[in-house]
Structure 1
């Protein structure tokens, strides 16, 4: 029986972790997942994720691929409960899916979506789950600016500097705020995202909501391709990766 590739779908509360990707001297989601899977399958398992979330960022849908050797497929597919038993409660395996040997969790993803949550009154149950904003925001104005994102492809102004990407071009197909009973949620969907991009976009849109800058200023910031012109990177606690799409899943 030869080595076989699978996807694992997981969800996690990122509050306690230093992001997805394994790092020295910091506990990460990938580290704990790899340890649990290696123990369960009794062989070294190294996952490769669909992206990298920063410290404190959450995911309701996240995929990683991994290879297993000399284990029957039905046993691998039934391994979710056993893997979950070895991981902290903040990380949950959802399902394991057989894929082609060349399937790639990161490069094969055709779309991703994030949500960012904002609340306006102190709430202990939103700690590490949402960003508390004490200012009144003009949501209509923020949505007017958010629509402009669909007209651009180069988002250098919202990208963390010194990244290893070959291009800062992304195709955004949705970007809008929705008013909730106790706050706001911003949903954004694109074919790909740059490092820190969503948090920088939200930070800039909130400046529009506070009427510190105009929609025209927002367009000028995008055209400048300069990160220093955009708004602050908002706190990680409100950000959730909520969808990753593949043509074959």
Structure 2
């Protein structure tokens, strides 16, 4: 039986989401906790990766188990053994073909900047002592919507097969003593959001012009982009699936269950 898990995590202590041979990722901790509860090997699949130190308010994960679960009880049991910086928020049964990564149609990230030094935000926002030019950064950000190839904002030695992304929105907003950048797309390249933010901040600080930002996108040359913004300000905030996706997946699950030959589940 396939299940979707909705989780959140503070990425400060982890080397990103992904399982790694010599580093501690969120996926490893989640798998180990699930294995403790269910006493069977667990392989989870996430909706996408987050890098070292990056947070997730909303991450979806799927996994397969040979039993039917009580969602409320399962959430309670797993949260009791997960560390305090990882939370299981919900779990639901889905159809056997449901896929947390491939079925997602968009992801949204937010990057938070604190304009006032605050020790309680040290792990959750990038502190800037001087406010950048938000109007110019928003002007530059609109160019992201007009291109598909974002090689200029990709990691140099990534394993990506192509660098095309469809960006649906990208903008800055001002809050009290803070700036928040929101970017939504069908997919993101590894390290892409932090490179975009870092380069937009170069616009806001007057180091490059808005037109130069556009030329960086067009160049498809990673060496022309600015350095990546620090990870602590970045959050995966939303993963979207087709409308009524989970309702339809529940129907598929029960159809599959009812269609199984006697003795199977």
Q: TM-score range with shorter-chain normalisation?
A: over 0.9
Q: Which residue of 1 aligns with 2:262?
A: none
Q: 2:34 aligns with which of 37, 41, 53?
A: 37
Q: 2:68 aligns with which of 55, 72, 83?
A: 72
> Root-mean-square deviation (CA), in Å?
1.1
Q: After TM superposition, where is structure 1 displaced by more than 2 Å over at least 4 residues in a row? A: 75-78
Q: Which residue of 2 aligns with 1:123?
A: 118
Q: Which residue of 2 aligns with 1:56?
A: 53
CA distance in 2 between partners of 1:115 and 1:239 (Å): 6
Once the two structures are superposed, residues 68-100 of structure 1 have per-residue CA deviations (whole angstroms, 9 ceiling, x without a partner) of 01x224x35630110000110100001112111
CA distance in 2 between partners of 1:26 and 1:224 (Å): 34
Q: Which residue of 2 aligns with 1:12?
A: 9
Q: Which residue of 2 aligns with 1:134?
A: 129
Answer whether contact 1:77 1:97 (CA < 8 A) is retained.
Answer: no
Q: 2:145 aligns with which of 122, 126, 150?
A: 150
SS of corresponding position for 2:24: coil
CA distance in 1 between partners of 2:219 and 2:212 (Å): 10
Instruction: Report 1:1-249 matches (<5 A).
Output: 4-69=1-66, 71-73=67-69, 75=70, 78-247=73-242, 248-249=245-246
SS of corresponding position for 1:78: helix
Aligned residues: 244
CA distance in 1 between partners of 2:157 and 2:227 (Å): 17
Shift of 1:200: 0.3
Shift of 1:134: 2.3
Answer whether contact 1:109 1:246 (CA < 8 A) is retained.
Answer: yes
CA distance in 2 between partners of 1:24 and 1:44 (Å): 17
Answer whether contact 2:152 2:220 (CA < 8 A) is retained.
Answer: yes
Once the two structures are superposed, residues 137-181 of structure 1 have per-residue CA deviations (whole angstroms, 9 ceiling, x without a partner) of 110000000111111111110011222222211111110000010
CA distance in 2 between partners of 1:103 and 1:79 (Å): 20
Shift of 1:121: 2.3
Unmatched tracts of structure 1, length 5 or more? none
CA distance in 2 between partners of 1:57 and 1:139 (Å): 23
CA distance in 2 between partners of 1:31 and 1:111 (Å): 24
CA distance in 1 between partners of 2:73 and 2:223 (Å): 49
SS of corresponding position for 1:53: coil
TM-score for both structures, normalised by structure 1: 0.95
